[in-house]
Amino acid sequence: MTPSTAITFFYYPDLSAVIPFYEQTLGFALVLDQGTARIYRVAPNSYFGIVDGNKGHLRHQPRSAALLTLVVPDVAAWHAKLAEAGVPKLGPLQRGPQIEHFFFEDPAGYAIEVQRFHNPAVAALFA
């Protein structure tokens, strides 16, 4: 059995407070608005959803232990875009032996990472 795709969901106490962040600031493309949940296409076969944590299957937690990582070809451009948008808790660009990346948080405190793999063979695994 092989899934056709996967969707990761984050739960929020106030869904309307994070919609502009995902749609305008990050530019995620809305695929489906279910009222209590919104599903975005992040990449051709990659989906992410936000859910009303008062009505969804799970409840919003005050402190998240989840991390959404976006793999991109130009980490510096993403960092500049988010800095220009005034995204709070935007961390510095970091370059390690395997990846170039940075972290930030969405308006409700969920952690998000933007990264690029240095090794072209590894990067090809996620293209």
Domains in the chain, please, with CATH? Answer: 1-59 (3.10.180.10), 63-127 (3.30.720.110)
* Residue range 56-111, pLDDT digits in tens: 887 878 777 789 999 999 999 999 999 999 998 999 999 999 999 999 999 999 99
48: phi > 0 → left, psi -120 to 50 → alpha, else beta; which?
A: beta
Contact 58, 67 (CB under 8 A): no
Distances (CA, A) of 117 to 4, 96, 107: 25, 10, 27
* Cα 106 from Cα 88, distance rounded (Å): 8
Token representation of residue 51: 């859910």
Each residue's pLDDT tens digit, 5-63? 889 999 999 999 999 999 999 999 999 999 999 999 999 889 999 999 999 887 878 77
pTM of the model: 0.90
